[in-house]
Amino acid sequence: MNRVLVNSPLLKLIAERVALGIVLLFAVSVLIFAGTQILPGDVAQSILGQTATPEAVANLRRDLGLNDPAFVRYFHWLGGVLTGDLGTALTSRQEITTTLMPRLWNTLFLAFWAAVVSVPLAIILGLLAVRYRNGPVDKAISGFALASTSLPEFFIGYLLVLFLAVRLQWFPSISTVYDGMPFLEKLKAIVLPGTALVFVVLAHMMRMTRAAILNVMQSAYIETAELKGLSAFDIIRKHALPNAVAPIINVVMLNLAYLVVGVVVVEVIFVYPGMGQYLVDHVVKRDVPVVQAVGLIFAAVYIGLNIVADVAAIVANPRLRHPK
């Protein structure tokens, strides 16, 4: 039995995807490190200011290890990452892990509630568009999706601030959350940035859901179900949707990755204390270790969710689950 499991195509494909993800993450870490090293300017000079003496700059460069060869600094950084040490922020001299973790949880909190709203809504709208395809409902949903896709997130964010925060004053324009904040107040604080994220990912998920189900609807067994007299909704729900799960899961996972990685613009607009705002603040300060740490975490989340999407698609394939 163990030999069968080891030799199964399913486990081999999953192992290949995971191995590819690890290699890709390693390659991304090299690119992130190299990208931060070729930035113009001197880190030590940026920290001390333009009035610093050359001796002070040279001493700080020595203390920070900036005089070491690039490959030595890379493997030193990578070794720390593998042991859970993301380094020390140059500007605040604090451990990056300590200051970054609350920001990461804030971003995950925002992304989670945006996903809770957008994923079911996208699937429901996709099902309705298929059920009433080429009709007024389908055209209205598709028109909404096209308009939502055409608008960048910063424009959606400013519209939400203008109408819901400034004119109607229903929600705060600045989304401030903190430890110990009551749960309902925290939910109210993230309504506007969460709504902006929902608009950003909803249209793509809905359109892909519609396309995946319509592709399955061309199958012969759908015609058989129609000949049996099943209603259109039952055909979609019982036959088309289960067989369109793999591409739907794939697009959902990709959009979940965007909810975590693509929050930078939204967090800056609403001054939300998440990873995106944290990254922008330290890019301005040219705090290279923080930029490297945030970039690597974003890459790990994106690659990890893509691996989950690939594995889910593989598991959903009946030919791989039940090989001959």
pLDDT at 4: 43
Is residue 118 classed exposed, middle or buried when 0-12, 13-18 and 19+ CB atoms within 10 A define those classes?
A: buried
- Using DSSP's 3-state secondary structure scheme, residue 88 falls into strand
Helix, strand, coil percent values for the chain (each to nearest 5) = 75, 0, 25
Residues 299 and 243 in one domain: yes
Asked whether residue 167 is domain-assigned, the answer is: yes
Range of the domain at 158: 96-321
Band of pLDDT at residue 192, cut at 50, 70 and 90: very high
Residue 321 has pLDDT above 80, yes or no: no
Tell me what the pLDDT averaged over the chain comes to: 81
Beta-bridge partners for 88: 95
Q: Which of 146, 29, 31, 86 is nearest to 282 (CA)?
A: 86
Q: What's the structural domain count of the chain?
A: 2
pLDDT at 23: 92
The pair of three-digit structure tokens given for residue 9, joined into one six-digit string: 């195509």
Asked whether residue 9 is domain-assigned, the answer is: no
Please answer whether residues 236 and 306 qualify as being in contact, where contact means their C-beta atoms are separated by less than 8 angstroms: no
For the chain, the residue count is 324
Q: pTM to 2 decimals?
A: 0.82
Band of pLDDT at residue 61, cut at 50, 70 and 90: confident
Is residue 189 classed exposed, middle or buried when 0-12, 13-18 and 19+ CB atoms within 10 A define those classes?
A: buried
Residues 252 and 292 in one domain: yes
Place of tokens 């380094």: 87
Residues 216 and 301 in one domain: yes
Question: Residue 173: which CATH number?
Answer: 1.10.3720.10
pLDDT at 191: 92
Residues 209 and 291 in one domain: yes
Asked whether residue 13 is domain-assigned, the answer is: no
Asked whether residue 117 is domain-assigned, the answer is: yes
Mean pLDDT of 272-287: 84
286 HSE (CA, 13 A, CB side): 13
